[in-house]
Amino acid sequence: MRDTLGQRGEAIFTVLMTEFHDRSRPIFKPQFLGDKWQYVDFIVELVGTESIITYFFVQVKTTRTGYTKKLNRLKVKVPQDHIRGIAAYVAPTYIVGIDEVTEI
């Protein structure tokens, strides 16, 4: 179940990042890096920059437990060693929380 939940979160992230806005194409191009990367799941390129390639790394954390009542924060856990590992990248890095809720 854990791998399935993570895969669903990564798929939701890809769909959200590739939404069409005012332009005829998405503004982000995410590329899944596979399970071999320890701290990041995606490299995401900003589409449309001509002179330089602009990108950032993302680790996706998925949950079905919702939000805290007091502070309305998503209930995801990120181990301290992952935070240190992500911070070691010499590039912008983000941890993205996905609330995977199935409605029937």
Give the chain's domain count: 1
**Domain span at 33:** 2-99
Q: Tell me whether residue 104 is in a domain.
A: no
Q: Tell me whether residue 21 is in a domain.
A: yes
Predicted confidence band of residue 14 (pLDDT cuts 50, 70, 90): very high
Q: Tell me whether residue 79 is in a domain.
A: yes
Q: What is the DSSP string of the chain?
A: -HHHHHHHHHHHHHHHHT-B-SSSSBSEEEEE--TT-SS-SEEEEETT-SSS--EEEEEEEEESS-B-TTT--B-----HHHHHHHHTSSS-EEEEEEE-----
- Give the side-chain half-sphere CA count within 13 A for 18: 10
Q: Which residues contact 43 (CB under 8 A, 6 or more apart)?
A: 30, 31, 33, 55, 56, 57, 58
CATH number reported for the structural domain that contains residue 43 in this entry: 3.40.1350
Task: Give the tens place of pLDDT for each residue, 15-42.
Answer: 999 998 776 788 899 999 987 788 999 9
Task: Give the tens place of pLDDT for each residue, 37-81.
Answer: 889 999 999 987 777 889 999 999 999 988 889 999 999 889 999
pTM flag (> 0.75): yes
Q: Tell me whether residue 55 is in a domain.
A: yes
Q: Is the pLDDT of residue 102 over 60?
A: no
